[in-house]
Structure 1
């Protein structure tokens, strides 16, 4: 390696394969997709009646809420998130302390199963929202003394009835009771023992203490000694909260902690230990549409077959060979040969050495990074060895260079294991950054390209005053960027409509477009700095949507033909008595033009020898107003009156080019023919043809 490790760019992403394989299948095979599922059970304690007391909503200043509404909102939002992100996961919800006792285990009193452990759907959200909107109408009751051990027993039975493999099993308990069953020591010990039984079955219990804004929830009274992760000091105690966003963040953070993409063995100079691979960022996209049979509404599937070009027969997989062109000849390879060529190393990570973190260059991007964390279940002692390696890399400010093979048969990659120290919020104790290694993929020698630009032209540089003005603008508009504050507006709108249809809502709640900047906010933050920037660069105030821009939010100019068309359609559809003529915002006003031109317009007319008022210029009164009929007596025998119509030569020529002369009346067309000394006899189409030929020839 050189002095610096640089990142190249690779769009294939393990897609380099022989033969005519489907590229989408190759890329899909290279990705790490977890096939396991998670299960989450929410338990809401309603034994304390104060959970229903209303107080000022911290997320909305003009409304009130209660702790039960906050807990149910968190459950509802979590279900919606699961439906979108992980539709294979299982979710359940229980209420303890209710008058009704409805669960699969009839022996337990005051334990009500609101949602069984199953795949979430629209019915799950509707059930939670129904109880949240009016708890009294549900007739469940509250304030009854219940045993937490019974609720945990029901939860364990839920998990035991799941036949599929579960990656993680989580239980979240919302409660205001910091010292449950304080007068019943037998019940307290039963609760502690049941939590320990759940932990032995890989079911982790998390207590989310609820307290009003002026209250406090003390975990040290009972729950710190009951929860194994708090007793062993492997997790921190977070302060109670009543903010839904923060509460939901805690739930999703805990729930996704054990969702690994893969579990690999890591070789550290002959010593192997287990690690789990996680992904911090995934590109969110709309789900693909499902094709259904039009008669049965059942899902239909497609199948691809390989057919011989000579006989038309369907070929079996063993009858197909792949070839790679080399030197103008086809080198034929069988499936076994192809697989053996791809198998270069077993799956896992192999440490090759260490380099200083100063030699890690982040200027280029190869592919999204991953994150590894010790997997004690794979190899005993992995946590100790991993922590020792992490502490050593942090203290010496180095990263590990390793070879990584994601799965059996995948191509090996070079990666830098960049150490990260654990960071907690000082006030709440919530983990901001976990301890572990970032797996940053680095290129091979063949992947690096020289893209240095050699520009020989002289470039104009900004002067010192302009640089200072630009720096002032940047400083004024600087803010703390957090990806959690910016949602994809296209996805938000898509799921808002899907949710409204699935939950049978009367109206769609339009999501806020958080990535659309507000010109008013920018202007208010810039102030005088924006005007100074405009002055330094000689720009017009208001151009480009900057300081003083007044165009944003104004009415858009619309096509007059479309506006008129939809106005008539709307009048017919809504059975209106009259059509509301839309304003023609693109038709220029001659009065406005005349007032702005003034003497300049008259001088223009004089220089070109034009008649004042012709062509819609100075003094024109015909555009947009009703034409005045000037009656005069003709020299015919019947003394009929003939209307004299002013003809606009420019408009007439433009209409001829666009082949729109048919919009004029016969009288206008005849006067135009007289103006150009053309025949005026015949029907309307004859007059149009005469004018078309004239304008085409002239």
Structure 2
């Protein structure tokens, strides 16, 4: 039986209310770091490392990573095992260092202050070996989550300690702590332990307490109701703590959850995951200084009536489309009906042989479709075993496939790929990392480093270390037989083909009297309209023209051209 692939239709209207309601509720997260501050956490180990200091550095690194990757997530920090108390119910030995909120520069600077002098924790908050009701810690965490109004967030509590039994073998404390932890888990809060062994030969027994409130690798009975965001608790040496905290919260998050219609009256629920996603620089934001604070600028868009110069309210604004010299008014319901082709979901359109699927059709990253009804299965180390799903590859439109440049037939593609690998690995560009580092230094008032412009090719490195590999690759793919002029000619042909009708229309700009045509830059908007070359006018020029005739310009070029066309038609006919 030949392999087959499925053609599916993905309805993805982001403005549709039904689509919004089908998104995952846990797109944002709130994490509370509960850090043990008992005296043993302040004592250096055999390698000279202080557990509490490594914990603070690890937490800071994770917070900085969250700013880059998930800026809308909330973070809170609680110190326990202190002598001082700072919480709403005056629970002893629990100090709220940072409330649950978005991360900003001031919160990172507060951590930096403690990292630079870890003894400040003992001086300011104290350190105590006193046994207290550990359920109090969960009560304080619960209060933070409630007061932060993060009901729709995925909630997580991470406990970092080297104490394997915080209840001090007190049966009453143990029972109360387990019950309160279970209440938090029932309300959707995940509890994770990062247990720190005091030295290489030390033993941290989770069965004394923590195995009753957190999930560990191989503990199957604790995993059956966990979501795809689960992080398993772990125990290890201090030197591993940094990596374990920094790599936490990197589990797969579903991009969408939709119904999958396989056939008539046969629909299952699936989740879609992005397995590979390119890293991009985020949208820039504007800030202003007010005293010692740096605040984000809040932008407000308001519309004015050209006739009365009065501000318009939403009920005064209507959506319209120019047609036949008139504006056809649409209501919000009309626009929604036009945009909605079908209910959100995946729909099987048919089946074709896999031979029709070419490798160069994959111009975008695929989605991994996963049955919503099945939890994943893990091995004893917490790794997933053969996920029950399939890859969803988005097929391109014809104009998304570029013309193949001149080339010779390649006899061994694998050999060519292996030859290119050292070239790719050597010439890595780290400009995105430099961009983030410069922003962090500006926000945290640290000394800036002179950035290295990695966009400039390192010709000396290329010549000294990669010349043989480049020559071998060119020979394998037939580029050694092509001249630079062949490549330029091919590029010119591709551009001419893409322009299509525009190229022919631009050559027909002479007037009907046979006079020479003007240069495009010298033509007015009306002359472009008359000669059918409005497509070659820039958006700013079109908007400037529309504004000059008291027409509010739209955003897309097609709409701008329609506005100009409608105006000049009416003016000409009048």
Question: Shorter-chain TM-score: what band?
Answer: 0.5 to 0.7
The aligned residue for residue 551 of structure 1 is none
2:381 counterpart of 1:349: no
| Alignment CA distance shift 1:72-1:438 (3 Å) | farther
In 2: Cα distance, 1:297 partner to 1:478 partner: 41
Give how far 1:161 is off: 1.6
| Alignment CA distance shift 1:164-1:97 (3 Å) | closer
Q: Is the 8 A contact 2:53 2:115 kept in 1?
A: yes
The aligned residue for residue 214 of structure 2 is 227
Give how far 1:442 is off: 2.8
In 2: Cα distance, 1:271 partner to 1:461 partner: 46
Give how far 1:167 is off: 1.9
Deviations 1:74-93 (A, max 9, x none): 21122223334433332111
Deviations 1:508-538 (A, max 9, x none): 25688899998898899779x679969x99x
1:658-697 equivalent positions in 2, closer than 5 A = none
Q: Is the 8 A contact 2:83 2:93 kept in 1?
A: yes
The aligned residue for residue 177 of structure 1 is 163
In 1: Cα distance, 2:178 partner to 2:414 partner: 65
Give how far 1:226 is off: 2.8
The aligned residue for residue 240 of structure 2 is 243
The aligned residue for residue 656 of structure 1 is none
2:73 counterpart of 1:82: no
Q: Is the 8 A contact 1:4 1:360 kept in 2?
A: no
The aligned residue for residue 448 of structure 2 is 508
Q: Is the 8 A contact 2:378 2:385 kept in 1?
A: yes
Q: Is the 8 A contact 1:68 1:132 kept in 2?
A: no
In 2: Cα distance, 1:285 partner to 1:144 partner: 46
Give the structure-2-normalised TM-score: 0.61
The aligned residue for residue 46 of structure 1 is 37
| Alignment CA distance shift 1:272-1:121 (3 Å) | same
Task: Output the aligned Cα RMSD.
Answer: 5.4
Match of 2:361 among 361, 364, 372: 364
The aligned residue for residue 489 of structure 1 is 431
Q: Is the 8 A contact 2:5 2:353 kept in 1?
A: no
In 1: Cα distance, 2:349 partner to 2:118 partner: 61
Higher relative contact order (CA 8 A, sep 6+): 2
Structure 2: runs of 5 or more not aligned: 225-229, 477-574
Q: Secondary structure at the match of 2:197?
A: coil
1:296-375 equivalent positions in 2, closer than 5 A = 299=297, 301-303=299-301, 305=303, 320-323=319-322, 332=328, 334-335=330-331, 336-351=333-348, 360-373=357-370
The aligned residue for residue 124 of structure 1 is 107
The aligned residue for residue 290 of structure 1 is 286
Deviations 1:234-291 (A, max 9, x none): 475645253365223432225xx5x555443344543555444444525421432327
The aligned residue for residue 603 of structure 1 is none
Deviations 1:519-563 (A, max 9, x none): 898899779x679969x99xxxxxxxxxxxxxxxxxxxxxxxxxx
Structure 1: runs of 5 or more not aligned: 8-12, 18-28, 57-63, 376-381, 388-421, 538-698
Q: Secondary structure at the match of 2:360?
A: coil
Q: Secondary structure at the match of 2:247?
A: helix
Give how far 1:184 is off: 1.7
Give how far 1:44 is off: 1.2
Q: Is the 8 A contact 1:239 1:429 kept in 2?
A: no
Deviations 1:99-146 (A, max 9, x none): 22222220x221121112222222211222222222223313334134
1:381-392 equivalent positions in 2, closer than 5 A = 382-383=373-374
| Alignment CA distance shift 1:349-1:110 (3 Å) | same
In the alignment of these two chains, the number of paired residues is 452
Give how far 1:347 is off: 1.6
1:129-148 equivalent positions in 2, closer than 5 A = 129-138=112-121, 139=123, 140-146=125-131, 147-148=133-134
2:57 counterpart of 1:67: no
Deviations 1:135-191 (A, max 9, x none): 223313334134432211210111122235432111111122234435322222222
Q: Secondary structure at the match of 2:445?
A: coil
Give how far 1:293 is off: 10
Match of 1:199 among 185, 190, 193: 185
In 2: Cα distance, 1:463 partner to 1:436 partner: 34
Q: Is the 8 A contact 2:37 2:82 kept in 1?
A: yes
Q: Secondary structure at the match of 1:441?
A: coil
| Alignment CA distance shift 1:441-1:251 (3 Å) | same
In 2: Cα distance, 1:264 partner to 1:51 partner: 49
Q: Secondary structure at the match of 2:52?
A: helix
| Alignment CA distance shift 1:453-1:479 (3 Å) | closer
| Alignment CA distance shift 1:300-1:102 (3 Å) | closer
Give how far 1:203 is off: 0.6
1:155-174 equivalent positions in 2, closer than 5 A = 155-174=141-160
Give how far 1:300 is off: 5.6
Give how far 1:221 is off: 4.7
In 2: Cα distance, 1:478 partner to 1:366 partner: 19
1:335-484 equivalent positions in 2, closer than 5 A = 335=331, 336-351=333-348, 360-373=357-370, 382-383=373-374, 429=382, 436-443=389-396, 447=398, 474=420
